[in-house]
Structure 1
Amino acid sequence: MFNTVTIVGVGLISGSFSLALKERALVKKVIGVSRTEASAQKAIELGLIDEALPLEEAVRQADLIYVAIPVDATIGVMQQVMDMVTDKQIVADAGSTKHALCTALDNHPMRKRFVATHPMWGTEYSGPEAAVRNAFVGRSCVICEKEKSDAKAVEMVEEAYRQLGMHLVYMDADSHDMHTAYISHISHITSFALANTVLEKEREEDTIFELAGGGFESTVRLAKSNPAMWVPIFKQNRENVLDVLNEHISQLRKFKACLEKENYTYLQELIEQANKIRRILK
């Protein structure tokens, strides 16, 4: 599909994206742009990229420029990229927030070359070493503001994600940020808070290690996530995150009140209500 793809950022998402393109023979060459020489060299060693170049040269050579860096850095870098591209190139991002970026690029003269995307997959790890094979198979990818992008550019990006095994979902930027706050962002805050709770109450680290079961491990897994990525996400999506966080706190208070008042009938009702998630998540 592509002669040359440039990935800006050589971490979890972009690295996994590159591996998937390479394994499916969808790209001949991948160029990486990294803040650090160490990450660039590691990405080359791991086969994520074929060479590392400065941003301007990497953009100049690419058919597709794929930006996957923390969202607080994305807007500035994307503006630089959009200033460089021609009407033959495609730019896509993989950010977890969309309103701020889409607003910033809304009036750019090359806006039609940009396709706003968010592959709904990730792990708690970061850096080139975090990249994994077949990461996107069976996952959803959100495409935002499709109507503002060139139809052929959208078609190319859609086909690339389909080739990686993804299901496509379409939303406006505001709806995307609202729904990701409900589904993804609150999960991370809950995990961070749970980890801090256990670390505060359980002072014996050996006990945590010895007694932690699958339930605790799966619930607190996201607490290992990189704060450099997640603080900017919470900042950009502050209003939506506060909305769902207030509801989450309200739900916790219900469970607390049940135990304080020994109202085990209502406690069972709350758990039965939660069990309805089985209809959605098998």
Structure 2
Amino acid sequence: MKNIYIIGVGLIGGSLAIDIKKHNPEAIIHGISRKEATLDQALALNLIDKKATLEDLVHADLVIVSIPVDATVKLLPTILDKVPDSGLVIDAGSTKEAICKVVENHPKRRNFLAMHPIAGTEYSGPSAAIAGLFVGKTNIICEVEKTAFKLQEQALNLFAAIGMRIRYMNPESHDKHIAYVSHLSHISSFMLGKTVVDKERNERDIFDMAGSGFASTVRLAKSSPEMWTPIFQQNKTNVIETLNEYINNLTHFKTLMESDDFEAIFNEMRNTNHIKEILNGIN
């Protein structure tokens, strides 16, 4: 894969660019963005070798789509229209059902691979890109059987080279499970941050009391609303289901507090401590 085009050279796209270039020094990384300033920054940071446009995709060996998921749904059919028969298109979106659906009958469906690398930080843009972001991280691949075998093989070799673990899942299961372990986490962080920011308007010293626990819990509230609003929209049904369960748990906890049942609260927290064993080894 010599000619690689990255649409959206931010945290994920830029980090992929760094690692791909490390393992494939001969590759030419082309950047595509609706913002010229983004491409200028990506060039200055040596994330890409050249600027490009969608019309240049006729020369692509590999296209990586790393833009908000609503934009991916709109743009993906056009991208597939333009790539050569030998080209592979990969998206890195955090939802998969709508993305897979929009190209299910595309003549070049065999040229597309849906993936979701479970990696990232709360930062965005080209300056957020870091080397080694994907080492040891899980990469979920959906509907692999719909991708041409030769292109599958090329993609899997690339993922292995940059250190990813592979997990296969259908798009519906992916979106349901990711609502619990990712989307709900972001909503919780945003809303905790909102609660404290709203309160801070009247109590100016509240942040003087904030420790590392608060900082780590609201870390995700620094994430991009431009990226996360479309994710919540595309995964609305699953997100609402998880929110209902979460709200029920919060309401139950509040009821225990009101009834002074701190033994039950202790037991709830002790039982939840089991999550340490589940998450052991996850960075």
TM-score class normalised by the smaller sequence: over 0.9
Measured after TM superposition, the shift of residue 203 of structure 1 is: 2.8
The answer as to whether partners of 2:3 and 2:62 remain within 8 angstroms in 1 is yes
- AA of the residue aligned to 1:66: I
Q: Contact conserved, 1:181 with 1:237, CA < 8 A, in 2?
A: yes
Q: How does 1:231-246 map to 2 (within 5 A)?
A: 231-246=229-244
Partner of 1:183, secondary structure, is helix
Superimposed CA distance per residue, residues 176-228 of structure 1 (whole angstroms, 9 cap, x where no aligned partner)? 10111011000000000100111122336863443221111111000011111
Q: Name the structure 2 match of 1:228.
A: 226
Q: 1:206 to 1:128 in 2, by over 3 A?
A: farther
User: 1:277–1:260: structure 2 CA closer, same or farther, 3 Å change rule?
Assistant: same
Q: CA deviation at 1:25?
A: 2.6
- Asked if 1 retains the 8 angstrom alpha-carbon contact of 2:60 and 2:83, the reply is no
Structure 1 contact 21–27 (Cα < 8 Å) conserved: no
Q: CA deviation at 1:27?
A: 4.9
Query: Distance in 1 between the 2:97 and 2:164 partners?
Result: 23
Bigger CA drift: 188-197 or 156-165?
A: 156-165
| TM-score for both structures, normalised by structure 1 | 0.96
Equivalence for 2:15: 16
- The answer to whether 1:34 aligns with 2:33 is yes
What is the correspondence of 1:1-282 to structure 2 with a 5 Å cutoff? 2-25=1-24, 27-57=26-56, 59-203=57-201, 207-282=205-280
**Secondary structure, counterpart of 1:118 in structure 2:** strand
- Of stretches 129-138 and 24-33 in structure 1, the one that deviates more from structure 2 is 24-33
**Hey, what's the Cα distance between the residues in 1 that align with 2:248 and 2:101?**
32
Cα pair 1:191 1:221 within 8 Å, conserved: yes
Single out whichever of 135-144 and 24-33 deviates more from structure 2.
Answer: 24-33
Residue type matched to 1:99 in 2? E
Gaps spanning 5+ residues in structure 1: where?
none
Runs of 4+ in 1 over 4 A off after TM superposition: none
The DSSP-based 3-state class of the residue aligned with 2:279 is coil
| Cα distance, 1:165–1:206 mapped onto 2, change above 3 Å | farther
Taking the aligned partners of 2:18 and 2:174, their CA distance within structure 1 comes to 26
SS, match of residue 31 in structure 2: strand
Asked if the contact 1:5–1:27 (Cα under 8 Å) also holds between the matched residues in 2, the reply is no
Distance 1:27 1:94 in 2: 23
Query: Partner of 2:46: helix, strand, or coil?
Result: coil
Counterpart CA distance in 2 for 1:26 and 1:105 is 32
Q: Give the Cα–Cα distance (whole angstroms) in 2 for the partners of residues 204 and 62 of structure 1.
A: 55
Assess if the C-alpha contact under 8 Å between 2:200 and 2:207 holds in 1: no
Q: Which runs of 5+ in 2 are unaligned?
A: none
Structure 2 CA distance for aligned equivalents of residues 25 and 154 of structure 1? 18
Between the aligned partners of 2:169 and 2:109, the Cα distance in structure 1 is 17
